[in-house]
Amino acid sequence: MLTKYSRIKKEGGNNCEKKTQLISLIILLALGISPANADRNQTSQNLLINASVELVQESENTHQNKKNKSSEGDFGYENPINGPDKWGELDPDFQLCSNGMEQSPIDIKPMEVIPADLPDVRYFYQPTSVHIVNNGHNTLQGTYDSGSFITIDGDEREYDLQQFHFHSVSEHTLAFGAHFNIEMHLVHTSIDGEVVVVTLLIRQGEENQALKEIWDNMPKNIGQEVFLPAESSFNAMDALPSDRRSYRYRGSFTTPPCTEGVRWIILREPIEMSAEQIEKYRNITQHVCCSNNNRPTQPLNGRQVYFDTVDNSDF
């Protein structure tokens, strides 16, 4: 899950530019051309120079689409320089990613959770217009209109639904590392800054009608944005499973800065997507980011995971 969710992955990169300039300089010197008189941006330049520059740019762009960039503060998933094991070193604000004691995601072991009649979660979601952006990290992020929220019995606060996004494969796992195809995070905040994330686990099955409009308009390129008006009638309520019993625990954001204190509500019953819908999402993820955009599971460090034994799906 992203914090600073609107963060857009910058295109290009200093590494690509520096490498291009270096190779251009080497070629110019080899050909006896003075760099002071050579303009590598002119189409009239020697074909060998142009071909070499274009080759480097093409190689870097291909690599960039498959891997996350390694510029300072820009996190990734597969690059050994800025992957999850290195997040805590990318920025002083990311230190919790390395040394936090209540990190997410986790592996949920059903035989070890604590069953309890937990406070009911009540969902007050409304149809919304959706602003969707491809941010290059979790690929697809949608903002939600104001007026939709959840409440938790015993807690007087309302938690407003701010945005939703997806990870593939799932970040949370069940029963010793079993992943689902996709994981959807519905991110809520209270007026005093408390965060609750309702999590939907998605497996292959029937076509998902609730998310179909979004999937049909999914932005393919980094930074690309799509706006779906309210008449498109996306309603997060329609995406919820019929059984809303949940696993609950205290954790963190699953992306830098890995801030702790997040309340996780992971709905036990998975929802479904067709193989075509899953493949479409993964193709876009692989195009702009990586094979998978999920953080590995983190140790519990003594935390308890609770399971709600009472279905409150009428709310």
Catalytic residues: 137
Contact between 232 and 213 under an 8 Å Cβ cutoff? The reply is: yes
Is 62 exposed, middle or buried, given 0-12, 13-18 or 19+ CB atoms closer than 10 A?
Answer: exposed
Torsion of CA 175, 179, 182, 185, to 10 degrees: 40
Q: Which one-letter amino acid corresponds to residue 258?
A: C
Give 151's contacts (C-beta < 8 A, 6+ positions apart): 121, 122, 124, 157, 158, 159
Q: Which residues of 35-54 are buried (b: 16+ CB within 10 A; e: fewer)?
A: eeebebeeeebeeebbebbe
